[in-house]
Every structure is written in structure tokens, then in C-alpha cells.
């Protein structure tokens, strides 16, 4: 049974919500949210930022792996991974970026079908997902260690699209709900200074 921490009705501000299930933790975004990519480290005391997680992979040399775009400015070259274009409260997958903010990552679920992986390492996993083709974005994290294959299969049971977001030792992140700031995978906070890019959720300007 899900434990839902939701925003209080009638509040002027809105927050992310957490749904904790047997296998997954699902983070839902508020109505006034917008997804962005940044290479400038967000600070938890910035009240306009509701969520912060690693997005693209970071190379051993300490640079962002693959192409990414921030404010319409392209960096690096395309690689074999999916192009994730962020727009408002959703995202699209394509052969090139279609919005000013985007990054490259491994696709886990495409059109409701799980992608197959050979990696057998078991880790806690995290993904950017949506439940339908035009649906709103969700952040989903496994509640136990899984292989990539197991995670993709689990997500395919309920998601239309899902792309991986960097985890492993770069799993540090946080989310702001109505009852405060929650650190995600805080065990990995020792490595947070090595993270190079972040998927963030911010409140839209009114």
C-alpha cells in the first residue's frame, strides 16, 4: 500500500510528493513545475528548486558524458544513448534535442517495452519516467538493488517511457515535499562534489 505525502490543500506553494511502494519510490511533480538541466550545482536552501538528481553520466575525467544542451547551447557530441529533451513537466525521446534543455542517457523503456541489458550488477536504480506518451514526468527509484534488466522490466509494467539517471556512487540527490527536504541515497553524499550535471525541478515563474 502506498504512503503518500502530498501538498496541503489551499497552500499558495506546491511541492513534490512521494509515493512509497513495495518495489519503488515514485516522486510526482506539482502543477507549476518545470524540468531543467544545469551544470551549476543547485543548493538545497534554494526554495525554488524542488528536486535535484544526477542526470547524464560523469566521465572518469570529471566531465559530462555525451551531448547536452542548457538554455539552447549545445555541449559535446552525440553518442549512442537516447536524446532526452525536457519541456515543462514532461520530456521526449528522439534522435536530436528538440528543446533548450536536454541530455543523453540510456533508455530503459520505450513505448511500453523494456530494453534488454546484459549488465548483471545489482544496484539501487533511478529513472526519469512517464506513464503515457503525453504524460507528465515522474522520478522513480528502486527500493532495493536490481540489475538494469530487472529495473527496466519492473518499469515496463506501468511506464510508457523511462530513461536512466546516473546512480551508483553518484546517487546523491534531494526532493522537497510539503513536510520538508528529503535526501535521496544520502549514503553517497561523499561523492556529490564529483557530480557534473543535474536534472532539477523548479517552480515556474508566475
pLDDT at 191: 66
- pLDDT of 6 over the 90 cut: no
The answer as to whether 147 is a domain residue is yes
The answer to whether position 118 is within a domain reads yes
- Domain residues for the domain of 161 are 16-185
pLDDT, one tens digit per residue, over 113-147 is: 999 998 889 999 999 999 999 999 999 999 999 99
Output the nine-digit C-alpha cell for 193.
Answer: 562534489
Per-residue model confidence as pLDDT tens digits over 173-199: 899 999 999 988 755 665 667 889 999
Identify the burial level of 65 via C-beta atoms within 10 angstroms of its C-beta, where 0-12 means exposed, 13-18 middle and 19 or more buried.
buried
Prediction pTM value: 0.89
* Residue 121 placed within a domain: yes
**Domain assignment present for 25:** yes
Element (H, E) at 150: helix 148-156
Residue at 202 is within a domain = no
Any domain includes 203: no
Distance CA 16, CA 120 (A): 32
| Count of Cβ atoms closer than 10 Å to residue 54 Cβ | 25
CA angle 140, 63, 171 (to 5 degrees): 25
For residues 10 and 171, which has the higher predicted lDDT (pLDDT)? Answer: 171
Residue 4 in this model has a pLDDT that exceeds 70: no
The answer to whether position 106 is within a domain reads: yes
What pLDDT sits at residue 113?
97
pLDDT in tens, 63-109: 999 999 999 999 999 999 999 999 999 999 999 999 999 999 999 99
Number of domains into which the chain is organized: 1
Indicate the Cα dihedral angle 145, 149, 152, 153, nearest 10°.
-100
Q: Does 126 map to a domain?
A: yes
Strands in 64-195 per DSSP E? 68-70, 73-75, 82-87, 90-94, 101-105, 107-110, 113-114, 126-130, 137-142, 161-164, 173-177, 180-184
The string of pLDDT tens digits covering residues 9-63 is 334 468 999 999 889 999 999 999 999 999 998 988 888 899 999 999 999 899 9
Rounded to 5 degrees, what angle do the CA atoms 181, 136, 72 make?
85
Residue 172 has a pLDDT of 82
Amino acid at each position: 500500500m502506498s504512503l503518500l505525502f502530498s501538498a496541503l490543500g489551499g497552500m499558495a506553494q506546491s511541492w513534490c510528493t512521494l509515493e512509497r511502494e513495495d518495489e519503488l519510490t515514485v516522486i510526482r511533480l506539482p502543477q507549476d513545475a518545470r524540468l531543467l538541466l544545469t551544470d551549476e550545482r543547485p543548493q538545497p536552501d534554494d526554495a525554488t528548486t524542488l528536486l535535484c538528481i544526477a542526470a547524464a553520466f560523469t566521465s572518469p575525467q570529471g566531465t559530462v558524458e555525451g551531448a547536452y544542451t542548457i538554455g539552447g547551447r549545445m555541449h559535446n557530441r552525440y553518442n549512442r544513448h537516447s536524446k532526452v529533451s525536457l519541456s515543462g513537466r514532461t520530456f521526449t525521446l528522439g534522435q536530436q534535442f528538440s528543446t533548450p534543455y536536454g541530455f543523453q542517457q540510456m533508455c530503459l523503456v520505450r513505448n511500453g517495452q523494456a530494453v534488454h541489458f546484459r549488465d548483471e550488477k545489482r544496484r539501487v536504480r533511478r529513472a526519469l519516467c512517464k506513464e503515457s506518451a503525453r504524460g507528465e514526468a515522474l522520478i522513480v527509484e528502486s527500493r532495493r538493488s536490481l540489475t538494469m534488466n530487472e529495473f527496466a522490466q519492473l518499469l515496463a509494467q506501468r511506464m510508457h517511457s523511462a530513461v536512466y539517471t546516473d546512480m551508483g556512487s553518484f546517487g546523491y540527490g534531494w526532493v522537497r515535499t510539503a513536510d520538508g527536504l528529503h535526501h535521496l541515497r544520502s549514503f553517497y553524499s561523499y561523492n556529490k562534489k564529483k557530480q557534473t550535471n543535474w536534472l532539477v525541478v523548479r517552480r515556474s515563474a508566475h
